[in-house]
Amino acid sequence: MPDFAPRSPAFLADPYPAYAELRARGRAHYYEPSDQWLVPHHADVSALLRERRLGRSYGHRFTHEEFGRTPPDPGHEPFHELNDQGMLELEPPDHTRIRRLVSKAFTPRTVEQLQPYVRRLATELVARLVEEGGGDLLTAVAEPLPVAVIAEMLGVPETDRPLLRPWSAAICGMYELNPSEETARHAVTASAEFSAYLRELIAARRATPGGDLISGLIAAHDEGERLTEAEMVATCALLLNAGHEATVNATVNGWHALFRHPAQLAALRADRALLPTAVEELMRYDTPLQLFERWVLDPVDIGGTTIPRGAEVALLFGSANHDPAVFAAPDALDLARRDNPHISFSAGIHYCIGAPLARIELAASMAALLDLAPALRPAGEPVRKPNFVIRGLEGLPVAV
Ligand code: HEM
Protein backbone atom coordinates (compact mmCIF):
# COMPACT_ATOMS: atom_id res chain seq x y z
CA MET A 1 0.00 0.00 0.00
CA PRO A 2 2.60 2.54 -1.10
CA ASP A 3 0.47 5.69 -0.86
CA PHE A 4 -1.24 5.07 2.46
CA ALA A 5 1.62 6.30 4.64
CA PRO A 6 0.22 7.98 7.77
CA ARG A 7 3.66 9.15 8.92
CA SER A 8 4.80 10.65 5.64
CA PRO A 9 4.67 14.46 5.37
CA ALA A 10 3.35 14.20 1.79
CA PHE A 11 0.46 12.01 2.90
CA LEU A 12 -0.27 14.27 5.88
CA ALA A 13 -0.22 17.34 3.63
CA ASP A 14 -2.93 15.81 1.44
CA PRO A 15 -4.17 12.29 2.21
CA TYR A 16 -7.10 12.47 -0.23
CA PRO A 17 -5.32 11.17 -3.39
CA ALA A 18 -4.15 8.09 -1.45
CA TYR A 19 -7.72 7.49 -0.32
CA ALA A 20 -8.93 7.68 -3.93
CA GLU A 21 -6.47 4.96 -4.81
CA LEU A 22 -7.59 2.81 -1.88
CA ARG A 23 -11.24 3.17 -2.91
CA ALA A 24 -10.39 2.24 -6.49
CA ARG A 25 -8.54 -0.87 -5.34
CA GLY A 26 -11.23 -2.36 -3.14
CA ARG A 27 -13.48 -2.14 -0.12
CA ALA A 28 -11.32 -3.61 2.67
CA HIS A 29 -7.52 -3.56 2.81
CA TYR A 30 -5.44 -5.33 5.42
CA TYR A 31 -2.83 -2.86 6.68
CA GLU A 32 -0.03 -4.73 8.37
CA PRO A 33 1.72 -1.87 10.27
CA SER A 34 -1.33 -1.27 12.48
CA ASP A 35 -2.88 -4.77 12.07
CA GLN A 36 -6.15 -3.27 10.90
CA TRP A 37 -8.56 -3.50 7.99
CA LEU A 38 -8.83 -0.12 6.27
CA VAL A 39 -12.34 0.68 5.00
CA PRO A 40 -12.41 3.62 2.53
CA HIS A 41 -15.92 3.71 0.98
CA HIS A 42 -18.70 5.94 2.34
CA ALA A 43 -21.38 3.23 2.08
CA ASP A 44 -19.26 0.75 4.06
CA VAL A 45 -18.11 3.27 6.70
CA SER A 46 -21.69 4.41 7.18
CA ALA A 47 -23.06 0.85 7.43
CA LEU A 48 -20.30 -0.38 9.73
CA LEU A 49 -20.80 2.51 12.18
CA ARG A 50 -24.34 1.17 12.66
CA GLU A 51 -23.29 -2.49 12.71
CA ARG A 52 -23.84 -4.20 16.05
CA ARG A 53 -21.37 -6.97 15.21
CA LEU A 54 -18.68 -4.32 15.69
CA GLY A 55 -17.87 -2.47 18.90
CA ARG A 56 -15.71 0.34 20.25
CA SER A 57 -14.63 -2.17 22.91
CA TYR A 58 -14.93 -5.93 23.44
CA GLY A 59 -14.63 -6.29 27.23
CA HIS A 60 -18.43 -6.58 27.61
CA ARG A 61 -18.28 -9.88 25.67
CA PHE A 62 -14.80 -11.34 25.75
CA THR A 63 -11.65 -11.46 27.85
CA HIS A 64 -8.44 -10.30 26.16
CA GLU A 65 -7.40 -13.95 25.82
CA GLU A 66 -10.73 -15.03 24.29
CA PHE A 67 -10.46 -12.18 21.82
CA GLY A 68 -6.86 -13.07 20.92
CA ARG A 69 -5.47 -9.78 22.20
CA THR A 70 -2.76 -9.04 24.77
CA PRO A 71 -3.98 -7.12 27.83
CA PRO A 72 -2.80 -3.49 27.98
CA ASP A 73 0.50 -2.71 29.66
CA PRO A 74 -0.21 -2.35 33.44
CA GLY A 75 2.02 0.74 33.36
CA HIS A 76 -0.63 2.41 31.17
CA GLU A 77 -3.37 1.86 33.74
CA PRO A 78 -4.05 5.56 34.56
CA PHE A 79 -4.75 6.20 30.85
CA HIS A 80 -7.06 3.20 30.53
CA GLU A 81 -8.88 3.99 33.76
CA LEU A 82 -9.71 7.44 32.43
CA ASN A 83 -10.26 6.54 28.79
CA ASP A 84 -11.98 3.17 28.87
CA GLN A 85 -14.87 4.22 31.09
CA GLY A 86 -15.87 7.20 28.99
CA MET A 87 -18.97 6.59 26.89
CA LEU A 88 -17.01 6.64 23.65
CA GLU A 89 -15.26 3.42 24.70
CA LEU A 90 -18.35 1.73 26.11
CA GLU A 91 -21.00 -0.42 24.51
CA PRO A 92 -24.62 -0.98 25.64
CA PRO A 93 -25.93 -1.23 28.25
CA ASP A 94 -23.26 0.93 29.94
CA HIS A 95 -23.05 3.27 26.96
CA THR A 96 -26.83 3.75 26.85
CA ARG A 97 -27.03 4.52 30.57
CA ILE A 98 -24.29 7.16 30.55
CA ARG A 99 -25.24 8.71 27.20
CA ARG A 100 -28.85 9.14 28.44
CA LEU A 101 -27.63 11.14 31.44
CA VAL A 102 -25.27 13.35 29.47
CA SER A 103 -27.43 13.90 26.40
CA LYS A 104 -29.89 16.07 28.37
CA ALA A 105 -27.23 18.78 28.39
CA PHE A 106 -26.67 18.59 24.63
CA THR A 107 -30.12 18.60 23.07
CA PRO A 108 -30.44 21.07 20.19
CA ARG A 109 -32.75 23.17 22.42
CA THR A 110 -30.35 23.33 25.36
CA VAL A 111 -27.48 24.12 23.06
CA GLU A 112 -29.54 26.77 21.27
CA GLN A 113 -29.76 28.61 24.59
CA LEU A 114 -25.97 28.80 24.66
CA GLN A 115 -25.88 30.58 21.33
CA PRO A 116 -25.86 34.19 22.62
CA TYR A 117 -22.98 33.37 24.98
CA VAL A 118 -21.01 31.60 22.22
CA ARG A 119 -21.56 34.49 19.82
CA ARG A 120 -20.51 37.09 22.41
CA LEU A 121 -17.36 35.16 23.21
CA ALA A 122 -16.52 34.73 19.51
CA THR A 123 -16.98 38.46 18.96
CA GLU A 124 -14.72 39.34 21.91
CA LEU A 125 -11.97 37.01 20.77
CA VAL A 126 -12.06 38.19 17.17
CA ALA A 127 -12.20 41.85 18.25
CA ARG A 128 -9.01 41.30 20.25
CA LEU A 129 -7.31 39.64 17.26
CA VAL A 130 -8.26 42.63 15.10
CA GLU A 131 -7.04 45.10 17.74
CA GLU A 132 -3.70 43.34 17.77
CA GLY A 133 -3.48 43.61 13.99
CA GLY A 134 -3.57 39.85 13.45
CA GLY A 135 -1.73 36.93 15.00
CA ASP A 136 -2.31 33.20 15.26
CA LEU A 137 -5.92 32.27 14.53
CA LEU A 138 -5.45 29.04 16.46
CA THR A 139 -4.41 30.54 19.79
CA ALA A 140 -6.48 33.71 19.38
CA VAL A 141 -9.86 32.21 18.40
CA ALA A 142 -9.96 28.54 17.37
CA GLU A 143 -8.72 27.25 20.71
CA PRO A 144 -10.06 29.62 23.39
CA LEU A 145 -13.65 29.55 22.10
CA PRO A 146 -14.49 25.84 22.43
CA VAL A 147 -12.28 25.47 25.52
CA ALA A 148 -14.16 28.26 27.30
CA VAL A 149 -17.58 26.96 26.24
CA ILE A 150 -17.09 23.37 27.37
CA ALA A 151 -15.26 24.48 30.55
CA GLU A 152 -18.13 26.84 31.33
CA MET A 153 -20.68 24.05 30.77
CA LEU A 154 -18.84 21.76 33.14
CA GLY A 155 -18.00 24.48 35.64
CA VAL A 156 -14.20 24.40 35.32
CA PRO A 157 -12.93 27.66 36.88
CA GLU A 158 -11.35 30.12 34.46
CA THR A 159 -7.95 29.98 36.15
CA ASP A 160 -7.74 26.20 35.60
CA ARG A 161 -8.63 26.26 31.90
CA PRO A 162 -5.04 26.55 30.57
CA LEU A 163 -4.48 23.04 31.99
CA LEU A 164 -7.02 21.47 29.64
CA ARG A 165 -5.27 21.79 26.26
CA PRO A 166 -1.97 20.15 27.30
CA TRP A 167 -3.80 17.28 29.06
CA SER A 168 -6.02 16.73 26.07
CA ALA A 169 -3.14 16.87 23.59
CA ALA A 170 -1.13 14.32 25.60
CA ILE A 171 -4.11 11.96 25.90
CA CYS A 172 -5.10 12.34 22.24
CA GLY A 173 -1.64 11.13 21.21
CA MET A 174 -2.90 7.65 22.10
CA TYR A 175 -5.54 7.80 19.36
CA GLU A 176 -2.93 7.90 16.58
CA LEU A 177 -1.95 4.66 14.85
CA ASN A 178 0.74 2.75 16.79
CA PRO A 179 1.51 5.33 19.52
CA SER A 180 5.11 5.18 20.75
CA GLU A 181 6.08 4.35 24.33
CA GLU A 182 6.99 8.02 24.84
CA THR A 183 3.50 9.08 23.70
CA ALA A 184 2.05 6.53 26.12
CA ARG A 185 4.18 7.88 28.98
CA HIS A 186 2.94 11.43 28.36
CA ALA A 187 -0.65 10.19 28.14
CA VAL A 188 -0.32 8.25 31.40
CA THR A 189 1.07 11.27 33.27
CA ALA A 190 -1.61 13.56 31.84
CA SER A 191 -4.37 11.03 32.66
CA ALA A 192 -3.21 10.71 36.27
CA GLU A 193 -3.09 14.50 36.72
CA PHE A 194 -6.39 15.08 34.93
CA SER A 195 -8.15 12.37 37.00
CA ALA A 196 -6.84 13.80 40.26
CA TYR A 197 -7.94 17.28 39.19
CA LEU A 198 -11.42 16.09 38.24
CA ARG A 199 -11.87 14.14 41.47
CA GLU A 200 -11.15 17.32 43.40
CA LEU A 201 -13.47 19.36 41.22
CA ILE A 202 -16.27 16.80 41.64
CA ALA A 203 -15.75 16.82 45.42
CA ALA A 204 -15.96 20.64 45.43
CA ARG A 205 -19.19 20.58 43.39
CA ARG A 206 -20.64 17.94 45.66
CA ALA A 207 -19.98 20.26 48.62
CA THR A 208 -21.26 23.35 46.78
CA PRO A 209 -23.45 22.45 43.79
CA GLY A 210 -23.94 24.92 40.97
CA GLY A 211 -25.90 25.02 37.73
CA ASP A 212 -23.15 23.23 35.80
CA LEU A 213 -23.09 19.80 34.18
CA ILE A 214 -20.83 18.25 36.83
CA SER A 215 -23.32 19.23 39.54
CA GLY A 216 -26.05 17.70 37.35
CA LEU A 217 -24.16 14.42 37.03
CA ILE A 218 -23.53 14.36 40.79
CA ALA A 219 -27.26 14.85 41.42
CA ALA A 220 -28.08 12.01 39.00
CA HIS A 221 -25.48 9.82 40.71
CA ASP A 222 -26.81 10.62 44.17
CA GLU A 223 -30.36 9.86 43.01
CA GLY A 224 -29.23 6.33 42.21
CA GLU A 225 -28.70 6.71 38.46
CA ARG A 226 -25.83 4.24 38.78
CA LEU A 227 -22.97 6.40 37.60
CA THR A 228 -19.83 5.26 39.40
CA GLU A 229 -17.22 7.78 40.53
CA ALA A 230 -14.77 6.44 37.91
CA GLU A 231 -17.41 6.79 35.18
CA MET A 232 -18.13 10.34 36.30
CA VAL A 233 -14.43 11.26 36.12
CA ALA A 234 -14.10 9.59 32.70
CA THR A 235 -17.25 11.30 31.42
CA CYS A 236 -15.99 14.73 32.47
CA ALA A 237 -12.59 14.08 30.88
CA LEU A 238 -14.21 12.91 27.64
CA LEU A 239 -16.52 15.91 27.49
CA LEU A 240 -13.70 18.34 28.17
CA ASN A 241 -11.40 16.77 25.55
CA ALA A 242 -13.93 15.89 22.85
CA GLY A 243 -15.63 19.19 23.59
CA HIS A 244 -12.78 21.20 22.15
CA GLU A 245 -10.17 19.11 20.32
CA ALA A 246 -11.97 18.57 17.01
CA THR A 247 -13.56 22.02 17.00
CA VAL A 248 -10.14 23.67 17.30
CA ASN A 249 -8.89 21.67 14.32
CA ALA A 250 -12.08 22.11 12.28
CA THR A 251 -11.75 25.89 12.70
CA VAL A 252 -8.15 26.12 11.50
CA ASN A 253 -8.49 23.42 8.82
CA GLY A 254 -11.58 25.28 7.60
CA TRP A 255 -9.88 28.69 7.35
CA HIS A 256 -6.81 27.12 5.78
CA ALA A 257 -9.08 25.63 3.10
CA LEU A 258 -10.84 28.98 2.61
CA PHE A 259 -7.53 30.80 2.15
CA ARG A 260 -6.59 28.31 -0.56
CA HIS A 261 -9.93 28.88 -2.33
CA PRO A 262 -10.18 32.68 -2.56
CA ALA A 263 -13.18 32.59 -4.92
CA GLN A 264 -15.14 30.51 -2.42
CA LEU A 265 -14.12 32.82 0.44
CA ALA A 266 -15.19 35.84 -1.62
CA ALA A 267 -18.56 34.16 -2.32
CA LEU A 268 -19.06 33.60 1.41
CA ARG A 269 -18.12 37.19 2.19
CA ALA A 270 -20.60 38.37 -0.39
CA ASP A 271 -23.44 36.10 0.73
CA ARG A 272 -23.67 35.31 4.44
CA ALA A 273 -26.62 32.97 3.73
CA LEU A 274 -23.97 30.44 2.67
CA LEU A 275 -22.73 30.08 6.25
CA PRO A 276 -24.71 26.94 7.24
CA THR A 277 -23.72 24.95 4.15
CA ALA A 278 -20.19 26.37 4.37
CA VAL A 279 -19.73 24.96 7.90
CA GLU A 280 -20.83 21.50 6.72
CA GLU A 281 -18.70 21.65 3.58
CA LEU A 282 -15.55 22.66 5.47
CA MET A 283 -16.12 19.77 7.90
CA ARG A 284 -16.38 17.42 4.92
CA TYR A 285 -13.64 18.89 2.76
CA ASP A 286 -10.86 18.58 5.34
CA THR A 287 -12.19 16.09 7.86
CA PRO A 288 -10.92 16.92 11.37
CA LEU A 289 -11.04 13.31 12.63
CA GLN A 290 -9.73 11.07 9.87
CA LEU A 291 -10.26 7.62 11.28
CA PHE A 292 -12.24 5.72 13.91
CA GLU A 293 -11.73 2.13 14.89
CA ARG A 294 -14.06 -0.72 15.72
CA TRP A 295 -13.42 -4.24 17.00
CA VAL A 296 -14.99 -7.12 15.12
CA LEU A 297 -17.09 -8.91 17.75
CA ASP A 298 -18.68 -11.31 15.23
CA PRO A 299 -17.42 -11.87 11.67
CA VAL A 300 -18.54 -9.36 9.06
CA ASP A 301 -18.31 -9.39 5.28
CA ILE A 302 -16.98 -6.32 3.49
CA GLY A 303 -17.20 -6.60 -0.29
CA GLY A 304 -16.61 -10.36 -0.26
CA THR A 305 -13.83 -10.29 2.35
CA THR A 306 -14.73 -11.92 5.65
CA ILE A 307 -13.25 -10.02 8.56
CA PRO A 308 -12.89 -12.42 11.48
CA ARG A 309 -13.73 -11.95 15.17
CA GLY A 310 -10.86 -10.30 17.01
CA ALA A 311 -9.80 -8.20 14.03
CA GLU A 312 -9.97 -4.40 14.01
CA VAL A 313 -11.39 -2.20 11.28
CA ALA A 314 -10.22 1.36 10.68
CA LEU A 315 -13.04 3.40 9.17
CA LEU A 316 -11.54 6.13 7.01
CA PHE A 317 -13.82 9.13 7.56
CA GLY A 318 -11.68 11.41 5.40
CA SER A 319 -11.95 8.95 2.52
CA ALA A 320 -15.70 8.42 2.98
CA ASN A 321 -16.11 12.21 2.84
CA HIS A 322 -14.41 12.29 -0.58
CA ASP A 323 -16.19 9.31 -2.10
CA PRO A 324 -17.48 10.23 -5.59
CA ALA A 325 -20.24 7.64 -5.20
CA VAL A 326 -21.84 10.07 -2.72
CA PHE A 327 -20.40 13.54 -3.39
CA ALA A 328 -20.37 15.26 -6.77
CA ALA A 329 -16.84 16.56 -7.51
CA PRO A 330 -15.67 15.45 -4.05
CA ASP A 331 -12.28 17.14 -4.21
CA ALA A 332 -13.79 20.54 -4.97
CA LEU A 333 -14.63 22.91 -2.12
CA ASP A 334 -18.20 24.01 -2.75
CA LEU A 335 -19.58 26.11 0.10
CA ALA A 336 -23.04 25.98 -1.45
CA ARG A 337 -23.09 22.14 -1.49
CA ARG A 338 -26.55 21.06 -0.37
CA ASP A 339 -26.46 17.30 -0.69
CA ASN A 340 -23.76 16.73 1.90
CA PRO A 341 -24.19 13.59 4.02
CA HIS A 342 -20.63 13.84 5.42
CA ILE A 343 -19.67 11.47 8.16
CA SER A 344 -17.47 13.81 10.20
CA PHE A 345 -19.70 13.46 13.28
CA SER A 346 -19.90 9.66 12.89
CA ALA A 347 -23.17 7.69 12.88
CA GLY A 348 -24.91 5.03 14.95
CA ILE A 349 -24.87 4.90 18.73
CA HIS A 350 -21.65 6.92 19.13
CA TYR A 351 -22.83 9.75 16.86
CA CYS A 352 -21.21 12.91 18.23
CA ILE A 353 -23.24 14.14 21.18
CA GLY A 354 -21.68 17.59 20.76
CA ALA A 355 -22.54 18.04 17.05
CA PRO A 356 -25.16 20.78 17.66
CA LEU A 357 -22.69 22.63 19.91
CA ALA A 358 -19.80 22.23 17.47
CA ARG A 359 -21.96 23.63 14.66
CA ILE A 360 -22.91 26.67 16.75
CA GLU A 361 -19.27 27.29 17.69
CA LEU A 362 -17.99 26.96 14.13
CA ALA A 363 -20.71 29.23 12.76
CA ALA A 364 -20.12 31.80 15.54
CA SER A 365 -16.37 32.08 15.02
CA MET A 366 -16.77 32.16 11.27
CA ALA A 367 -19.45 34.86 11.38
CA ALA A 368 -17.39 37.00 13.78
CA LEU A 369 -14.31 36.67 11.55
CA LEU A 370 -16.30 37.56 8.43
CA ASP A 371 -17.86 40.58 10.15
CA LEU A 372 -14.97 42.01 12.12
CA ALA A 373 -12.04 40.96 9.93
CA PRO A 374 -13.33 41.35 6.37
CA ALA A 375 -9.78 41.35 4.96
CA LEU A 376 -8.58 38.34 6.97
CA ARG A 377 -5.76 36.69 5.06
CA PRO A 378 -2.88 34.27 5.64
CA ALA A 379 0.39 35.69 6.97
CA GLY A 380 2.71 32.80 6.24
CA GLU A 381 2.42 29.11 5.50
CA PRO A 382 1.00 27.15 8.44
CA VAL A 383 2.75 24.04 9.75
CA ARG A 384 0.68 20.86 9.75
CA LYS A 385 0.64 18.75 12.93
CA PRO A 386 2.45 15.47 12.42
CA ASN A 387 -0.72 13.57 13.36
CA PHE A 388 -2.89 11.56 11.04
CA VAL A 389 -6.04 10.66 13.00
CA ILE A 390 -6.55 14.06 14.62
CA ARG A 391 -5.90 16.34 11.68
CA GLY A 392 -4.86 19.88 12.50
CA LEU A 393 -2.34 22.67 12.23
CA GLU A 394 0.30 23.86 14.70
CA GLY A 395 -0.98 27.37 14.11
CA LEU A 396 -2.53 29.57 11.43
CA PRO A 397 -0.81 32.99 11.11
CA VAL A 398 -3.21 35.64 9.85
CA ALA A 399 -3.25 39.35 9.04
CA VAL A 400 -6.42 41.44 9.32
C1 HEM B 1 -16.02 19.76 14.85
C2 HEM B 1 -16.17 19.26 16.02
C3 HEM B 1 -16.40 17.81 16.35
C4 HEM B 1 -16.22 16.69 15.59
C5 HEM B 1 -15.69 16.59 14.17
C6 HEM B 1 -16.61 15.55 16.40
C7 HEM B 1 -16.60 14.24 15.97
C8 HEM B 1 -17.00 13.15 16.72
C9 HEM B 1 -17.02 11.79 16.25
C10 HEM B 1 -16.56 11.36 14.86
C11 HEM B 1 -17.48 11.00 17.26
C12 HEM B 1 -17.74 9.50 17.25
C13 HEM B 1 -16.54 8.62 17.12
C14 HEM B 1 -16.91 7.20 16.84
O15 HEM B 1 -17.94 6.92 16.20
O16 HEM B 1 -16.15 6.31 17.24
C17 HEM B 1 -17.74 11.87 18.37
C18 HEM B 1 -18.22 11.45 19.59
C19 HEM B 1 -18.37 12.27 20.67
N20 HEM B 1 -18.25 13.65 20.68
FE21 HEM B 1 -17.74 14.84 19.12
N22 HEM B 1 -17.01 16.00 17.63
C23 HEM B 1 -16.92 17.37 17.64
C24 HEM B 1 -17.24 18.21 18.68
C25 HEM B 1 -17.71 17.79 19.89
C26 HEM B 1 -18.13 18.68 20.94
C27 HEM B 1 -18.17 20.20 20.88
C28 HEM B 1 -18.47 17.90 21.99
C29 HEM B 1 -18.99 18.46 23.28
C30 HEM B 1 -19.27 17.84 24.31
C31 HEM B 1 -18.28 16.50 21.59
C32 HEM B 1 -18.50 15.39 22.38
C33 HEM B 1 -18.50 14.09 21.95
C34 HEM B 1 -18.80 12.94 22.81
C35 HEM B 1 -19.13 12.98 24.28
C36 HEM B 1 -18.72 11.81 22.00
C37 HEM B 1 -18.96 10.35 22.39
C38 HEM B 1 -20.38 9.96 22.05
C39 HEM B 1 -20.68 8.50 22.31
O40 HEM B 1 -19.77 7.68 22.42
O41 HEM B 1 -21.87 8.18 22.40
N42 HEM B 1 -17.83 16.48 20.31
N43 HEM B 1 -17.46 13.19 18.03
Name the more confident of 1 and 121. 121
Q: Which residue's alpha carbon is nearest to atom 21 within ligand 1?
A: 352
Between CA 57 and CA 69 the distance in angstroms is 12
Q: How many angstroms separate the CA atoms of 145 and 366, rounded?
A: 12
- Does ligand 1 come within 6 angstroms of the Cβ of 45? no
Who's near 380: CB < 8 A, 6+ residues apart? Answer: 397
* Higher pLDDT among residues 280 and 216, named by residue: 280
Residues 143-186: tens digit of each pLDDT: 999 999 999 999 999 999 999 999 999 999 999 998 999 999 99
For residues 281 and 274, is the Cβ–Cβ distance under 8 A?
Answer: no
d(CA 344, CA 355): 10
Per-residue pLDDT for 225 more than 80? no
To test the ligand 1 pocket, which listed residue (352, 359, 360) has its Cβ within 8 A of the most ligand atoms? 352
The model's confidence at residue 105, banded by pLDDT at 50, 70 and 90, is confident
pLDDT band of residue 343 (cuts 50, 70, 90) is: very high
Is residue 277's pLDDT more than 90? Answer: yes
Given a cut of 70, is residue 247 above it in pLDDT?
yes
The pLDDT-based confidence of 1 (bands split at 50, 70, 90) is low
Q: Decide: 288 in ligand 1 pocket, CB within 6 A.
A: yes
CB of residue 292 inside a 6 A radius of ligand 1: yes
Q: Is the pLDDT of residue 104 over 90?
A: no
Asked if the model's pLDDT at residue 110 lies above 90, the reply is no
Domains, the chain, with CATH or none: 11-399 (1.10.630.10)
Whole-model pTM: value is: 0.96
Q: What is the mean pLDDT of the chain?
A: 95
Q: CB count, 10 Å around CB of 387?
A: 19
The protein residue with its alpha carbon nearest to ligand 1, atom 2, reads 247
Q: What is the pLDDT of residues 305-332, one digit of tens each?
A: 999 999 999 999 999 999 999 999 999 9
pLDDT at 59: 93
Q: For ligand 1, atom 38, name the residue with the nearest CA.
A: 350
Q: What local confidence, expressed as pLDDT, does residue 2 receive? A: 55
Q: Which atom of ligand 1 is nearest to the CA of 102?
A: 35
Nearest to 369 by CA among 246, 275, 263: 275
pLDDT at site 228: 87
* Pocket of ligand 1 contains residue 357 by CB under 6 Å: yes
C-beta of 295 in contact with ligand 1 (< 6 A): no
CA of 247 to the centre of ligand 1 (A): 10
83 pLDDT band, cuts 50/70/90, is very high
Closest by CA to 195, choosing from 285, 342, 85, 45, is: 85
* End-to-end C-alpha distance for the chain, whole angstroms: 43
